Amino acid sequence: MNGKILEIQNLTVRFGGFTAINNLNFSLDKGELRVVIGPNGAGKTTFMDVITGKTKPTEGQVFFKGKNLRPYAEYEIARMGIGRKFQTPRVYQKLTPRENLELSCARKKNVWASLTAGSSTAERRIVVELLDTIGLATKADIPAELLSHGEKQRLEIGMLVAQSPDLLLVDEPVAGLTDEETEKVGNLLLELAESHSIMVIEHDMEFVRQIARQVTVLHQGSVLCEGNMDEVQNNPKVIEVYLGS
Q: Identify which range of 14-22, 85-93, 134-142, 144-152 contacts ligand ADP by CB under 6 A.
A: 14-22
* Binding residue for ligand ADP, selected from 20, 101, 105, 199, defined by CB under 6 A: 20
Q: Which of 1, 10, 31, 41 binds ligand ADP (CB under 6 A)?
A: 41
Shortest gap between Cβ of 242 and ligand ADP (angstroms)? 11
What's the CA angle centered on 40, arms 39 and 44, to 5 degrees? 85
User: In this structure, are residues 69 and 86 in contact, taking their beta carbons and an 8 Å threshold?
Assistant: no
| 15 part of the interface to ligand ADP, by CB under 6 A | yes
Site for ligand ADP in 174-203 (CB under 6 A): none
| Binding flag, residue 245, ligand ADP (CB under 6 A) | no
- Per-residue H/E/C for the chain: CCCEEEEEEEEEEEECCEEEEEEEEEEEECCCEEEEECCCCCCHHHHHHHHCCCCCCCEEEEEECCEECCCCCHHHHHHHCEEEECCCCCCCCCCCHHHHHHHHHHCCCCHHHHHHHCCCHHHHHHHHHHHHHCCCHHHCCCCHHHCCHHHHHHHHHHHHHHCCCCEEEEECCCCCCCHHHHHHHHHHHHHHCCCCEEEEECCCHHHHHHHCCEEEEEECCEEEEEECHHHHHCCHHHHHHHHCC
Q: Identify which of residues 105 and 232 has a Cβ nearer to ligand ADP in the complex.
A: 232
Q: Note whether 38 binds ligand ADP by CB under 6 A.
A: yes
Of 42, 62, 199, 212, the one binding ligand ADP (CB under 6 A) is 42
Judged by CB under 6 A, does residue 45 bind ligand ADP?
A: yes
Size of the site for ligand ADP (CB under 6 A): 11
44 binds ligand ADP (CB under 6 A): yes
Q: Is position 43 an interface residue for ligand ADP (rule: CB under 6 A)?
A: yes
To ligand ADP, the closest distance from the beta carbon of 171 in angstroms equals 9
Verify binding: residue 53, ligand ADP, rule CB under 6 A: no
Q: Which is nearer to ligand ADP, 15 or 111 (CB)?
A: 15
Q: Which residues bind ligand ADP (CB under 6 A)?
A: 15, 18, 20, 38, 40-46
